[in-house]
């Protein structure tokens, strides 16, 4: 009796419940819609004034030629940070 129970348990772990293969159901495609759809993040392209950009870069370069850097001048650091934030380019 004990051997019979052991063999039934072995079959149950291998082939599903008591030797029967697991029940198969029809596959249903998954719906990928949610209750509240979320908008996708969109990259915003900002148009900027070329003359203003060139002017800001001119003054940053002029101060650098005078010997001021980010390390010894808070003004140059602020100007460079603003330039980087506005135009996305490193100076």
Question: 28-71 pLDDT, tens per residue?
Answer: 777 776 677 777 777 777 788 999 999 999 999 999 999 999 99
Contact 59/66 with Cβ under 8 angstroms? no
This model's pTM is above 0.85 = no
The separation between CA 35 and the C-alpha centre of its own chain, rounded to angstroms, equals 23
11 pLDDT above the threshold of 60: no
Tell the residue number behind the tokens 């650098």, with chain if given: 64
């Amino acid at each position: 009796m004990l051997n019979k129970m052991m063999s039934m348990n072995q079959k149950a772990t291998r082939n599903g419940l008591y030797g029967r293969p697991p029940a198969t159901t029809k596959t249903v495609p998954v719906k990928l819609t949610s209750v509240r759809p979320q908008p996708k993040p969109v990259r915003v392209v900002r148009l900027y004034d070329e003359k203003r950009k060139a002017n800001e870069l001119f003054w940053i370069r002029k101060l650098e030629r005078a010997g001021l850097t980010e390390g010894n001048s808070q003004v140059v650091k602020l100007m460079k940070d603003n330039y980087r934030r506005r135009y996305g380019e490193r100076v």
